[in-house]
Amino acid sequence: MHREAYRRNIRIGRQNYGQVFCTQCGERLGRIILRDYKYLFLVYLCKCGAEVVYRTEEGNPDTTENYYIDIINGVAVCRRCKKELFYIDRNKVVNYAFHIICSCGKQYNNRLPERSRQLRIKEG
C-alpha cells in the first residue's frame, strides 16, 4: 500500500476499487484504475467548486518536465505497457491535473493552466 501524503475533499471507494468521489457534493468524478502505480497525484476540480486532491508520499516524480499522455474517452492508458491508469468523468469536472508513475516506471503528468485557477497544492 502507498502511504498517503495529502488528501482533500476526496473519498475513494473500497468496493469496486478506486472510485473517486467528491465529499462536498457526493458526485463520482472518476476512478483510479491501476493498483500498483508507483506514484499518484490527482486533482479534480469538481463542478461544485471543490478541489478534490489525492497524493501519495513515495515515487520521486520529476516535476521539471512535461510527460504527455493521451486521454481517450476519459481513460489514460500507459503508452509503454498499455495498462489503463485512471479515468476522469469529464462531464463532472471543470478541470483536472495529475502526475502518475506507472508500475512499468513510465510517468505522465498534466498541470492545470496557470491562469485558469488558484491551485495552491504543490506537488512533491
- How many Å is the maximal CA-CA distance in the chain? 37
Nearer residue to Zn ion within complex by CB, 80 or 120: 80
Q: How far apart are CB 101 and Zn ion at their closest, in Å?
A: 9
Q: How far apart are CB 63 and Zn ion at their closest, in Å?
A: 19
Window 27 to 56, contacts with Zn ion (CB under 5 A): 46, 48, 50
Q: How far apart are CB 47 and Zn ion at their closest, in Å?
A: 6
CA distance 114 to 69: 19
Cα torsion angle, 58, 10, 108, 64, sign: negative
Residues in contact with Zn ion, counted by CB under 5 A, come to a total of 12
Window 56 to 95, contacts with Zn ion (CB under 5 A): 78, 80-81
- For residue 109, give the amino acid letter: N
Nearest to 99 by CA among 48, 74, 62: 62
30 within 8 A of 86, measured Cβ to Cβ: yes
Q: How far apart are CB 4 and Zn ion at their closest, in Å?
A: 20
Nearer residue to Zn ion within complex by CB, 5 or 25: 25
CA distance 16 to 107: 25
Residues in contact with Zn ion by CB under 5 A are 22, 24-25, 46, 48, 50, 78, 80-81, 102, 104, 106
